[in-house]
Amino acid sequence: MFCGSAWAPFALLGHCKNEHPEIKQGPDSQMKLEQVIKEYQIVSEVPVPTFHGPPVEGLKEHNDGLICLADGCSYACRKSKVMAEHWTSCHPNILIPKDKRARSGVVQCFFPVIGTKYFAVNPSVADIDPQGLYATFINDYLPSVPPLPMLPPNTHRELPPLLAHTGWNLHLDSFVTDDTKRKALLTSALRPLDVKKDPLYGQLHDWVFEYMDNIRNIAQFQVPYTILRYILEYPS
């Protein structure tokens, strides 16, 4: 809990002696440790958590992680040299530029000295319902969305990434050169005239507030009464 790392049972006391000498160890430290190991069934090997899942409580989060982008691969590390070795050994037939092979992210690891193996985590899903819609979106759907195949613009003449991705520039292309269509589009987005100039849509302002007043009345008076009626009718 001091350094945010996990240690195999046989290495814990040695680690504390070398790295945390302020923690005093009595002659019965080994016996107490063995009791804890037996009571909680602590093991020296831990399966890697779900890829891109919530962080493991107590473990240090490393923001300088590298996460492999090969399909179906969940490898993670913290050094570009190690990632290059991973690609050479595990993905030798995938020919893509080096800067497209991994992305930065948050990683954690168990046992930082013995068999270090990093895994990617997503701090944004910490403390949320693992069965909820947001967790489902983050874990199941979002990883399937390919990254945007574009880089930030280098000059003012290039399209911004968001505009290039949505394609609105292509959709509105004809409006740029057609003054009549452009004015018609702008007119359609304007607020209605007042009721004196537009007897029909000029009432839109009053309609909206009347609708909101009705909704507020239903929420304050009718909904609680309806719920109470159902509770009394179906007490179980």
Ranges of each domain in the chain: 9-40, 62-144, 174-236
**What pTM was computed for the model?**
0.54
Q: Which residue has the tokens 């020296």?
A: 44
Question: What's the pLDDT at 212?
Answer: 86
Question: What's the pLDDT at 126?
Answer: 82
- Is residue 45 a contact partner of residue 85, using CB atoms and an 8 Å limit? no
**Quick one: which of 138, 139, 77 has its CA closest to 102?**
77
Sign of the alpha-carbon torsion through 76, 140, 123, 151: positive
CA 225 to chain centre: 40
Structure tokens at 74: 């969940």
Those residues with Cβ within 8 angstroms of residue 106's Cβ, 6 or more apart along the chain or in another chain: 55, 61, 62, 63, 65, 120, 121, 122, 123
Q: How many C-beta atoms surround the C-beta of residue 120 within 10 A?
A: 22
Question: What's the pLDDT at 120?
Answer: 94
- pLDDT tens, position by position, for the chain (236 residues)? 788 888 888 888 888 888 888 888 888 988 998 898 888 888 777 788 888 888 998 899 999 999 999 988 999 999 999 999 999 999 999 888 888 899 999 999 987 765 678 999 988 888 777 777 777 777 777 767 766 565 666 777 777 777 877 888 888 888 888 888 888 887 777 767 777 877 777 778 788 888 888 888 887 777 777 777 777 776 65
Compute CA distances 161 → 141, 145, 157, 167, 173, whole Å.
Answer: 22, 16, 12, 10, 17
Question: What's the pLDDT at 89?
Answer: 93
**Beta partners for residue 107, in sequence order:** 62, 120
